[in-house]
Structure 1
Amino acid sequence: MDSIVERRKGIRVATEQDLHCFIAGKPVTVRMANLSTAGAQLIASDIMARTGDIVLLKIEGVTSLVGHVIWQKGELVGFEFNTPLHPAVVSYLGFEKHGVEKPDTVAEEPA
């Protein structure tokens, strides 16, 4: 059987953002540790998420993201988006962690 690392889709960027979300309909504050086009790793204390639980995550400046829990280990929760993010959005959000000023616009990938 393949490992979680082998199943990951896309490159992950560190974000370290505190966010509000709903997991299985319960409001919770989480830290988004990293982000990819396919999903995110959340750090959520005091919750027990189950595989398949619906997640609604709001990232400032980005539409709310909906997906589901694909794994939980302790306070770490793997969250897969229902609709993948564009790579430019992932890059844009990755600027936050490093204190780099976000560009006014994000260039589209060539067609």
Structure 2
Amino acid sequence: KFSGQTNIHLSKNFFLTNKAREKSSTFINLREVLNRFKLPAGEYIIVPSTFEPNKNGDFCLRVFSEKNANSTVIDDEIEGNFDETEISEDDIEPSFKKLFGQLAGN
């Protein structure tokens, strides 16, 4: 549908109605994420995101291909207005605190 087009704004509806071809196996707050995917020839959109919703971030994205591949950088500034959700200590489930302790260390 959008093949060869670069001036398209993909709305929330696009992401709700199109399944991701691949995604990170773990979604943790790390400075570096490394994944290897074997994809058939085609056009793909890579959407980096921050760990926390509604937060801005700078990304360095490197894509390696075993075969010749064309790529296009779309470095447009994206603006969004989101209501920030206030979370208190009581809102955090004990199981999440335990998992956080295991990953981050006590």
- Normalised-by-shorter TM-score class: under 0.3
TM-score (normalizing by structure 1): 0.23
Q: Which has the higher Rg, Structure 1 or Structure 2? A: 2
More helix by share: 2
More strand by share: 1
TM-score (normalizing by structure 2): 0.24
